[in-house]
Amino acid sequence: MSDLDSINLVLDTTAILGFVRGIDAVGEVVREVADAGLLVALPVTCMAQAHQSAVDEDLLQVLASNPATLVIGDEPDEWLTLAHLLGLVDDLPAASAALLAVDAGCLVLTARPERYSSIGSGELALPFHG
Amino acid sequence: MEQDASHATDKPGTALLEAAGMTSTPEGRASARQLLAEGRARLTPEALAGIRAQVGATPRAA
């Protein structure tokens, strides 16, 4: 079984920043998934993008180093699917998050659900407020 | 300390929140469960298949 099989939630850049900024809605959803023994995926590009805005690198490290999270990159042989997703969301980190979610068959936690509205009918997005 | 170590192993999400200085509440947990349930209900196998077809994703082997 690959790590992908255990991924149950993907955090995009907005969700990663939400965690770092202590937004309860993000923390509780992450806790719910992680305590169930499932993995929360952190796309490499989203982590890098979050780092540009995060004021606390230590909290990014806390998130990335937890056994229930997995920092993961795009698969090279999925470049064409990534390109199709990029055309729909117009943001490479968001496209990476969507690709992971499509592969794992799970949701993307996001503060920007409209960004994913052109993928299907927007079903991939799990919106949070805060 | 042993209790903390066991806690981190058994409840990695709770341990993560504590490490980040966040607290979990019954109301927060209930809200998170509801949000996840609603999201998972929207992302049906049919919806996921449609998305995979739309973006040219190859379904992963079981």
SS3 A9: strand
Evaluate if residue A54 carries a pLDDT over 90.
no
Residue A95 phi, psi dihedral angles, 5° rounding: -65, -40
Q: Which residues of B touch A121 (CB under 8 A)?
A: 47
The pLDDT of B9-23, averaged and rounded, is: 91
Q: Which residues of B touch A30 (CB under 8 A)?
A: 13, 16-17
Q: Which of residues A66 and B59 earns the better pLDDT score?
A: A66
Evaluate if residue A83 carries a pLDDT over 60.
yes
pLDDT of residue B59: 61
CB-nearest partner of A28 from B31, B43, B51: B31
What distance in Å separates the CA atoms of residue B40 and residue A109, rounded to the nearest whole number?
A: 12
Evaluate if residue A66 carries a pLDDT over 70.
yes
Residue B3 to chain A, least CA–CA distance (Å): 16
What is the average pLDDT value for chain A, to the nearest integer? 95
Flag if B48 and A84 touch (Cβ within 8 Å): no
Buried/exposed code over A105-125 (b: 16+ C-beta within 10 A; e: otherwise): bbbbbbbbbebbeebbebbbb
In this structure, of A32-41, A51-60, A110-119, B18-27, the range with the lowest mean pLDDT score is A51-60
ipTM field: 0.92
pLDDT level of residue A34 (50, 70, 90 thresholds): very high
pLDDT level of residue B8 (50, 70, 90 thresholds): low
Taking the complete model, does pTM exceed 0.90, yes or no?
Answer: yes
Contact A77, A106 (CB under 8 A): no
pLDDT level of residue B53 (50, 70, 90 thresholds): very high
CA distances from A110 to A64, A77, B15, B26 (A): 17, 26, 22, 22
Interface test with B, best of A32, A70, A126, A128 (most B CBs within 10 A): A32
Contact A42, A19 (CB under 8 A): no
pLDDT of residue B29: 95
